[in-house]
Structure 1
């Protein structure tokens, strides 16, 4: 279980990226973070694994208080948190298998990883994960020869090779087409269910969040303004999160078809709706 209590991030300028964030994520639950650009979604995820240092508050993963860790203890704790990145963070010149095995870098030591001498159990698990994410045919391909969806699947397999307790996912569909976006979100949800993994997914596409998340948290200006079930995300709530807009239900059906066809997931919901209607209010 992940627990955030009164987590605040304040920059030296005095600007606050997060203010008094309280969240509890049970094992096995998939939670989507939604909100406009600059709302603090990526900052929140990065505070959890300490890529961004919170100014104050408590972050606990199980019995471990993450905010008190440093050095070797922090590196060990990060192994329990698999990170999936928007831009994949793969090494293009390495093969798919080598990129997946890099998920064990924090456990095998520098020289074994440098010489690419991974334990047999890690290699066996990497093969199994690549089969599970649908890439058994691409094991020896270089990462730069893959499509966006394939690259994201490699990133998912790499994160799972860490055998994490928690997945932190930063805009996994931002660069993908609508069909591939749904496939990736479905895969993440299925894997979390299979492994009883909690996941926090920063995502701009509200329709995908409604379709695949168990729970949605809406951020605005660094504060949580909504936390509930996807079906509770109505037009009034969307206005609270994003601001005034014509939030027609046809744009936010639970299958996500209308919103996906309107434009790519990298465009914010309010802009997407305006483009889809030709700017009409």
Structure 2
């Protein structure tokens, strides 16, 4: 379980990004964070594993306050907090397999990490994951030769190879076309359900949040203004989160189908 209490973040030379956020995420939940640019979504996600240092408040992961951990204890805690990045964060010159295996660096010796000699069990699990996401033919391909969707799949495999209890996903579809975005979201939701992983997804596309998560949390100006089921995202709720807009026109195209780009 994750409990966030009165979380504030003020950047030294910038605005207040989070203003007293309170949030509870139960074990096995998958929630989507939505909101306008600058609402604090990425800051909130990155505060949870302290890639961004909170200014004040508590982040309790299974009753352990992440904010109070020493650097050594934080490294240990991060082993169980996987992260999937918008910009993929792959090592371009390394192969797909080498990038995936980097998810086990926190579990092997310094020598093993330096020489990239991983236990056979890790290699076998990496191969299973790559097969699961449709990349079994790309094991030896360099990361810089992959498409955006393929890179994101490598990032998913790397995060899952950590065997995390908690998964943070920061704008996984931002650089992808609508079809690939749906495929990536479907893959993420299937994998976290299969492995019973608790997950938070920061996502811009409201329609994808509605399609693939049961619970949606809306942020505006660093505060949570909506925390309900995805089915409750009415025009009034969207106005509360994003401001005035002709939401019916924004949601539907000329053919009457939901667009991917609601925001």
Quickly name the TM-score band, shorter chain normalised.
over 0.9
Asked if 1:149 is matched to 2:149, the reply is: yes
1:98–1:13 CA distance, 2 compared to 1 (3 A)? closer
Other-structure match for 1:277: none
Which residue of 1 is the match for residue 139 of structure 2?
139
Look up the match of 1:24: 24
- In the alignment, structure 1 segments of 5+ residues that lack a partner are 270-281
Q: How far did 1:216 drift?
A: 0.4
In the TM superposition, residue 63 of structure 1 has moved relative to its aligned partner by: 2.8
- Give the superposition deviation at 1:205: 0.2
Residue-by-residue CA offset, 1:125-166 (whole Å, 9 max, x unaligned): 111111111111111111111111010000000000000011
Shift of 1:14: 7.2
Number of the residue aligned with 1:213: 213
Give the aligned partner of residue 41 of structure 1: 41
Q: How does 1:86-165 map to 2 (within 5 A)?
A: 86-165=86-165
SS at match of 1:248: helix
Q: Does 1:182 align with 2:175?
A: no
1:68-122 CA deviation, whole Å, 9 max, x = no partner? 1021110010111100000100011111000000001112132211101111111
2:179 and 2:163 mapped to 1: Cα distance? 28
1:207–1:252 CA contact under 8 A, matched in 2: no
Alignment-derived partner of residue 279 in structure 1? none
Residues 174-202 of structure 1 show CA distances to partners (whole Å, capped at 9, x for unaligned) of: 01011110010001101111111111111
1:231 and 2:231 are equivalent in the alignment: yes
What's the counterpart of residue 243 of structure 1? 243
Residue in structure 1 matched with residue 81 of structure 2 by the alignment: 81
Task: Tell me the TM-score normalised to structure 1 length.
Answer: 0.89
| Whole-angstrom distance in 1 between the partners of 2:63 and 2:249 | 42
Decide whether the 8 Å contact of 1:225 with 1:241 is kept in 2.
yes
Tell me the distance in 1 between the aligned counterparts of 2:219 and 2:165.
24
- Name the structure 1 match of 2:195: 195
What is the Cα deviation at residue 6 of structure 1? Answer: 0.9
Q: Deviations over 1:199-229 (max 9, x none)?
A: 1111000000000012100000000000010
CA–CA distance in 2 between the matches of 1:249 and 1:103?
A: 43
Q: Cα RMSD between the aligned structures?
A: 1.7
For residues 161 and 24 of structure 2, the distance between their equivalents in structure 1, rounded to whole angstroms, comes to 25
Distance 1:233 1:108 in 2: 45
Write the deviation string for residues 5-63 of structure 1: whole angstroms up to 9, x where unpaired: 11111223473110111111112211100001000000000100001111111101113
Q: How many pairs are equivalent?
A: 261
